[in-house]
Amino acid sequence: MMFMPYDTVFDKFPGELKIGSVSSIDENKGLRGGRVILKTGEQVTYDVLAVATGSAWQGLVSFPDEESRYKEHIELWRNKFEKAQNIVIVGGGAVGIEAAGEIKDVYPNKSVTIVQGAKYLMTDIYPRKFRVDLERRLRLRGVDIIFDDVIEGQPRVDPDVPIKTRMGTPVKCDLLVLARGAGPNTSMFKFLLPTPLSDHDYVQVEPTLQVRGHPSIFAAGDIIDLPEAKQFAKTAGHATVIVQNIVSYLKDEQPKEECKPGKEIIVISNGRNGGAAYLGILWGLRFGDLFTKSIKSRDLLVGIVRKNLGLPAHF
């Protein structure tokens, strides 16, 4: 378990860090700026607002905000994995694949099954050969995979009674891990008019990453309605566009930097020593265990995140 301080995030810039959860955004009528309303009732004024609240998950990766509750959540799931013998993961995306690999690292003899609603792992953003290779690597580690089927809702788990998929397939299970695709964490936008949210609650943005209909608000990351995979690798490009456009906006200049969907790049770990990667450049490059281990599997990008926060990469 690891916590990283934000003490150095501003470096010498005269910024202020405020810890809290946002409940809504209140714009100034006819004027630039507004207020962010925290769940405590506190109001934080802004001239320009950038929102990057990420995805909202269920179960294992639905982490509480408070440090004490976060620690309790981690310990609870550690105990669940330790006691379980038949673990079923619902969803064959990156989270489900990486969870299976981590479980097999610690408990190689436990039964792990992924139930995936499509014919292959991941989504069709990625080429079939890459998706089939991910499947092969998981099966080599003893992970079972059920394709073209789903587990609906969150059924009650009984070690003595198998759960059933939609197609009626019985699956032994004493621990159910939900790893279905996450939704955008955009509840704070629901009171803005006109609404900037799409039918699936993603934030609609202009090419400048200004929120549609609300030019003093910018949005980035998993929450925006762009035709690209929602992943960490995209955030650096979004940030570059937003920073340049915020500077222009504050100078009363027209923001001109535009965000264009980038090449799909993904690195998926399969435990500490392997995995697979895809780089959507040239003809589409695929890499295996050695590349993935050196880039991600050893520390799950913790070193890179620490560097971005101004902390020593190693701890």
Q: Which residue has the higher pLDDT, 189 or 283?
A: 189
Q: CA-CA distance, 159 to 176, in Å (whole number)?
A: 11
Q: What is the pLDDT of residue 315?
A: 62
Q: CA-CA distance, 87 to 103, in Å (whole number)?
A: 9
Q: CA-CA distance, 36 to 25, in Å (whole number)?
A: 5
Q: Which residue has the higher pLDDT, 232 or 36?
A: 36
pTM strictly above 0.85: yes
Q: CA-CA distance, 276 to 107, in Å (whole number)?
A: 21
Provide the token pair at 133.
């290779």
Q: CA-CA distance, 24 to 46, in Å (whole number)?
A: 13
Q: What is the pLDDT of residue 139?
A: 98
pLDDT 10s digits, 9-61: 887 778 888 888 999 999 998 889 999 999 999 999 999 999 999 999 888 98
Residue 185 and residue 178 in contact, taking contact as beta carbons nearer than 8 Å:
no
Q: Does residue 267 surpass a pLDDT of 60?
A: yes
How far does CA 14 lie from the centroid of its chain? 29
pLDDT 10s digits, 107-160: 999 999 999 999 999 999 999 999 999 999 999 999 999 999 999 989 999 999
Confidence of residue 2 (pLDDT cuts 50, 70, 90): low
153 φ/ψ sector (left φ>0, alpha ψ -120 to 50, else beta): left
